[in-house]
């Protein structure tokens, strides 16, 4: 399992770690979360908010997802291998904040830059099936007070405070943070990232 919400943050691996053959390194991040949280997506209807190249989508498919909605505001960025997979519903040019799910989704994965959790989780709630779960990549540098950043990087001494404030934002929306784990890879500019398992 991952750490409890009051446990210690495990140190992530460096961002230079050699990746597996997922279409992007995001697949390694989600794979670590599925293992840590012991979540099965086999036969499930899934959605991925902020798909971009499709690392999370690739991971969902490799773990047996029946269908995956790839929701991405950009156009033409999803990897061709995923674009040609009949299990993938390509929702490009779609902002997750305004996207309407064609059907309830059992599992929603989130990797959204620039958009804080307090906004993206409102959209996830609309799309989530009863009893479903969300696995969200938490990027503290997008949650923090911008005055705390140093060349786009959140200093380590501000990490716990930022995470605490983000937990408040999330729980105030009615979500339960069931588990947390550190991403095995550092994010942009070496920022520490977390993965949270959320349920209503």
Report yes or no on 19 lying in a domain. Answer: no
Domain contains 5: no
pLDDT in tens, 165-200: 999 999 999 999 999 999 999 987 888 999 999 999
Instruction: Name the residue range of residue 169's domain.
Output: 26-199
Torsion of CA 2, 186, 25, 182, to 10 degrees: 10
Cβ atoms of residues 184 and 197 within 8 Å:
no
Q: Following CA atoms 70, 74, 80, 85 in sequence, which dihedral angle do they give, to the nearest 10 degrees?
A: 20
pLDDT in tens, 142-172: 898 888 888 888 998 999 999 999 999 999 9
Q: Looking at residue 81, which CATH number applies to its domain?
A: 3.40.50.150
Residue 13 lies in a domain: no
pTM flag (> 0.85): yes
- Would residue 112 count as lying in a domain? yes
pLDDT of residue 10: 44
Identify whether 10 is part of a domain: no
């Amino acid at each position: 399992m991952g750490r409890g919400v009051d446990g210690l943050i495990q140190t992530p691996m460096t961002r230079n770690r050699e990746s597996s053959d997922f279409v992007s390194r995001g697949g390694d991040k989600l794979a670590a979360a599925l293992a840590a949280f012991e979540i099965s997506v086999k036969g499930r209807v899934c959605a991925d908010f902020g798909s971009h190249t499709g690392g999370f989508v690739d991971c969902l498919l490799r773990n047996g997802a029946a269908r995956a909605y790839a929701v991405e505001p950009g156009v033409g960025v999803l990897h061709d291998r995923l674009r040609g997979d009949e299990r993938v519903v390509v929702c490009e040019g779609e902002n997750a904040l305004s996207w309407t799910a064609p059907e309830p989704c059992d599992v929603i994965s989130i990797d959204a830059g620039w958009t804080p959790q307090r906004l993206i989780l409102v959209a996830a709630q609309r799309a989530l099936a009863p009893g479903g779960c969300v696995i969200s990549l938490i990027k503290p540098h997008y949650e923090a007070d911008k005055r705390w950043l140093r060349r786009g990087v959140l200093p380590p001494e501000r990490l716990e405070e930022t995470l605490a404030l983000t937990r408040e934002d999330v729980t105030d929306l009615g979500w339960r943070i069931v588990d947390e784990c550190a991403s095995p890879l550092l994010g942009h500019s070496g920022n520490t990232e977390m993965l949270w398992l959320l349920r209503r």
